[in-house]
Structure 1
Amino acid sequence: MRRLRQLAAGTPAARERIVDLLRALAIIMVVLGHWTVAAIGYDAAGRPTAHSALDELTWAYPLTWVAQVMPVFFLVGGYANAASLTARRARGGDATGWLLNRSARLLRPTSALLLVLACGALVARLAGAGAEQIRTVVWFATIPLWFLAAYLLVVPLTPVMYALHRRFGVLVPLGLAALVAAGDLGRLRGPDELAYGNYLFGWLAVHQLGFAWHDARAARKDDHDARTARKDDHDARANWVGDRRVGWPLLLGGLGVALLLTAAGPYPVSMLNVPGVRLDNAAPPSLALLALATAQFGLILLLRERAERWLHRPRPWQAVIAVNAVVLTVFLWHLTAAILLVGALDAVRVLPTPPVGSAAWLAWRVPWVLLLSVVLAALVAVFGRIEEGTSRREPPAGRPAAGWRATARTLLTAGGFAAVVVGLVVNSEAPKTAPEPLGVPVAALVAYLVGAGTLRLLRSGWGSRG
């Protein structure tokens, strides 16, 4: 608590605190959503199994418009990435150094999850568990990594995409939205391969809105400083995102387009993944999801001032700091918590398996979530320290490398990110019943570890000194 108070007291007054609040809320919503829609049962062999109950809860589809918060995470990611990249450059650093610094916060907690799961799988295999059973359990525990793979595609592109934003502004997300629409057309009429790019184009479009938000915030601060220094200055720079009045058009326009696309158009009502749906809104992101993201951005702009005033109170801000210190750990381990709880309840023969949608199933949601929260809290207490250690202090920018060393460093950084993404994607695409003794495909684990190890060496200064 003392450290939280110190961090809260040391927060710069100009910090956009709602960004941190939204990041924490988005991850909490994802965790609660996954836990709430989980349907637990037994397979033909009498082993516990789980699947999403969403396809059986059609009445809940409109609620997914509130529960779908991944766009919020990419929005605040765009803001945070623009802010940290700008600050890094102001201190004399370069984009490659910035990327290496970001990789530490993202990859250290992820590496811990993968290594623990692989070791646990090996122990289970030596104890006699089947390779297919091991893969099924690990596959479920690593579901969150599909999202991390998408984010790790977006982050290395930040320097380039931010430069495009500075030059072309809103035309960039509009162009990306057009590419998403083309991908959706491919899903409707073929070929399906046209939609693969939506995993990148869709999240990049939302990420670009975060850039616009950051620049609007910076412009407002610069204008305020200019007016303070010179009271007769009325030539404040205009920025459309900085105007609160834009919140209503974004909110109503985004909702209107989303309603049109889902009610009169070909898109499903659910904004979360529903198994078997051809034109899914979430995997990959669809045009309807981008419309919802626009509405969410408008709502954020409308609520921003109230939220900022509230977050300047000590207790709310300390709570936000506490969650953000371990927010990735919470996300990565929340399905592992479910596996551990299901296994424990099954071991003592008290695992409830009521029919999905029944009164008993609905009543079980509250104790289920509470029990899972206890298990996850224990996991965070153990593994959260890894994430906390990466966020306590950003290393100094230092002097950027020059000449061939700079080129080699940049290429190795790009290669490291690429290897990590390939590893995560290969794991996500591998069948959940594949006979994998380590739970994770060996090729995927090797690619990930090579990429993460390369980035770790580069952060330590490897190859940058003569």
Structure 2
Amino acid sequence: MRRLRQLAARTPAGRQRYVDLLRALAICMVVLGHWAVAAIGEDATGRPTGRSALPELPWAYPLTWLAQVMPVFFLVGGYANTASLTARRAAGVDATAWLLARGARLLRPTTALLLVIAGGAALASLAGVEATLVRTVAWFATIPLWFLAAYLIVVPLTPAMHALHRRFGLLVPLVLAALVVAGDVGRALGPAGLALPNYVFGWLAVHQLGIAWRDADAGPHAARPAPPGTPDSAPPRAAPTPGGAPARRLPTSRRAGAAALLGGLAATVLLTTVGPYPMSMLNVPGERLDNAAPPSLALLTLTTAQFGLILLLRAPAERWLRRPRPWQAVIAVNSVVLTVFLWHLTAVILLVGALDAVGRLPTPPVGSAAWFAWRVPWVLMLVVVLAVLVAVFGPVEARTGRSGSTGGGGSSAGRAPGGPGRWATARTALTAAGFAAVVYALVANAETPRSAPEALGVPAPALVAYLARAGTLRLLRSGWAGRG
């Protein structure tokens, strides 16, 4: 508590606390949503199984419009990444060093998860557990990594997308939305694979909206970096857009918020009733179209409505966050927010295993009174299990956040070692290759069937690729490439 009070007291006056609150709320809602719709049963051999209850609860589909908050995370990511990039550039840190520092906050907690899963799977395999069962358990535990793969594609593109925003403004997210529509048309008329680019275009469009939001908050002088020493969230100064004409900025008034909320809701209703899109914004097994995997036009219109609501709630939320206790709570959650997300399904596996081992695992039919009554103790027990996991693994993320808060400016990785001519190009290429390999590994794991015989739980080639490239990025961040 003392450290939280110290961190709260040192919060820069210009920090956008509302953005931090939105990040924390988004992840917490994802966790609670996954727990609430979990349906636990038994297979023919009596082993516990897990699935989503949504297919049996069609009346709950409209509620997924509130539960689907991953767009909020990407929106906040665009805002925060742009603020951090601008401030670090002003401090003399290049884009590659910024990316290495930004990536560390994502990769260290992920590495901890994968090492624990692989180690536990190896022990289970040596103990004689079937490789298919080992993979099934690991598959459930690593479901959150699909989101991280998408985010690790978007983050490295921030410098380029920020430059595009400075030149073309709101035209950029509109073009990305048009590409999402093209992908939707492709999967409606042909193979579902034609929409795979929407994983990039859709989340990039939401991230770009966050970039535009940051630019609007920074005011009419937002394009030029702030002087050295300015906090990440403080508004930077500006440079004119090419041709001297300012780019059209994203309106963020309450009137604009109301218009975005009503317009986004109206469009989403039309697309999911008259149009071809499903009502649910979360995955429902058996649906031909999925609004979130990959992102669809309906998800983008819902994002517009969510952004409108965010603008309407901003003023009272910011006043509330000026109080010490709420702000300390937000700081605490954000220090371990990725750990909470990565381990929340592992908590389910551990609780189900423990209850099954003592013969106390309830498996009421989905939708029954017993099933609904079980939601409350179920979630409360999961909170306890996850709290233990966060206490064990949260320090990995918390330490990374503190050491990486300068964006790399305090290490030899902060500037191109040996001068731009010698190391900058090689370091940038190695960084890009490292992120590409990490994304490949996470996608390969997600695409491997959950019944595949994997003794390590995770496909061995994917695990090796991830660890090798994550290690390379760690060395680059430490400045190893410029030594000797």
TM norm structure 1: 0.95
The letter for the 2-side match of 1:446 is: V
- Over 3 Å counting, the alpha-carbon distance change for 1:108 and 1:225 in structure 2 is closer
Match of 1:441 among 459, 466, 469: 459
By how many angstroms is 1:243 displaced?
Answer: 3.0
Which residue of 2 is the match for residue 389 of structure 1?
A: 399
Match of 1:333 among 334, 343, 346: 343
Which residue of 1 is the match for residue 305 of structure 2?
A: 295
What secondary structure sits across from 2:480 in the alignment? coil
CA displacement 1:372-400 (0-9 Å, x = unmatched): 00000000000000000011142452433
By how many angstroms is 1:238 displaced?
Answer: 7.8
Which residue of 1 is the match for residue 415 of structure 2?
A: 399
User: What is the CA–CA distance in structure 1 between the aligned matches of 2:194 and 2:133, rounded to whole Å?
Assistant: 34
Conserved 8 A contact 2:183-2:197: yes
- Over 3 Å counting, the alpha-carbon distance change for 1:225 and 1:370 in structure 2 is closer
Which residue of 2 is the match for residue 135 of structure 1?
A: 135
What secondary structure sits across from 2:365 in the alignment? coil
**Which aligned pairs between 1:46-195 and structure 2 lie closer than 5 A?**
46-195=46-195
The letter for the 2-side match of 1:201 is: F
Which residue of 1 is the match for residue 322 of structure 2?
A: 312
Conserved 8 A contact 1:182-1:194: no
Match of 1:346 among 341, 349, 356: 356
What secondary structure sits across from 1:241 in the alignment? coil
User: What is the CA–CA distance in structure 2 between the aligned matches of 1:247 and 1:372, rounded to whole Å?
Assistant: 36
Which residue of 1 is the match for residue 387 of structure 2?
A: 377
By how many angstroms is 1:193 displaced?
Answer: 2.4
By how many angstroms is 1:237 displaced?
Answer: 10
What secondary structure sits across from 1:181 in the alignment? helix
User: What is the CA–CA distance in structure 2 between the aligned matches of 1:95 and 1:415, rounded to whole Å?
Assistant: 15
User: What is the CA–CA distance in structure 1 between the aligned matches of 2:127 and 2:389, rounded to whole Å?
Assistant: 23
User: What is the CA–CA distance in structure 2 between the aligned matches of 1:366 and 1:419, rounded to whole Å?
Assistant: 41
By how many angstroms is 1:450 displaced?
Answer: 1.4
Structure 2 stretches lacking a partner, 5+ long: 223-233, 237-245
Percent of residue pairs identical: 74
User: What is the CA–CA distance in structure 2 between the aligned matches of 1:152 and 1:237, rounded to whole Å?
Assistant: 28
By how many angstroms is 1:69 displaced?
Answer: 0.1
CA displacement 1:418-440 (0-9 Å, x = unmatched): 01000000000000000000000
What secondary structure sits across from 1:97 in the alignment? helix
Structure 1 stretches lacking a partner, 5+ long: 227-235
By how many angstroms is 1:244 displaced?
Answer: 3.1
Which shows bigger deviation, 245-254 or 137-146? 245-254
What secondary structure sits across from 2:251 in the alignment? helix
User: What is the CA–CA distance in structure 1 between the aligned matches of 2:193 and 2:422, rounded to whole Å?
Assistant: 38
Conserved 8 A contact 1:53-1:356: yes
By how many angstroms is 1:242 displaced?
Answer: 3.6
State how many pairs are aligned: 456
The letter for the 1-side match of 2:92 is: G
By how many angstroms is 1:192 displaced?
Answer: 2.5
User: What is the CA–CA distance in structure 2 between the aligned matches of 1:441 and 1:238, rounded to whole Å?
Assistant: 47
The letter for the 2-side match of 1:216 is: A
**Which aligned pairs between 1:199-278 and structure 2 lie closer than 5 A?**
199-219=199-219, 239-278=249-288
By how many angstroms is 1:15 displaced?
Answer: 1.0
User: What is the CA–CA distance in structure 2 between the aligned matches of 1:225 and 1:297, rounded to whole Å?
Assistant: 20
The letter for the 1-side match of 2:475 is: L
By how many angstroms is 1:221 displaced?
Answer: 8.8
What secondary structure sits across from 2:384 in the alignment? helix
Conserved 8 A contact 2:167-2:247: no
Which shows bigger deviation, 17-26 or 391-400? 391-400
The letter for the 2-side match of 1:26 is: A
Which residue of 1 is the match for residue 230 of structure 2?
A: none
User: What is the CA–CA distance in structure 2 between the aligned matches of 1:312 and 1:220, rounded to whole Å?
Assistant: 26
- Over 3 Å counting, the alpha-carbon distance change for 1:463 and 1:101 in structure 2 is same
What secondary structure sits across from 2:41 in the alignment? strand
The letter for the 1-side match of 2:435 is: F
Conserved 8 A contact 1:75-1:208: yes
- Over 3 Å counting, the alpha-carbon distance change for 1:266 and 1:238 in structure 2 is closer
- Over 3 Å counting, the alpha-carbon distance change for 1:81 and 1:430 in structure 2 is same
Conserved 8 A contact 1:212-1:241: no
The letter for the 2-side match of 1:306 is: P
What secondary structure sits across from 1:11 in the alignment? coil
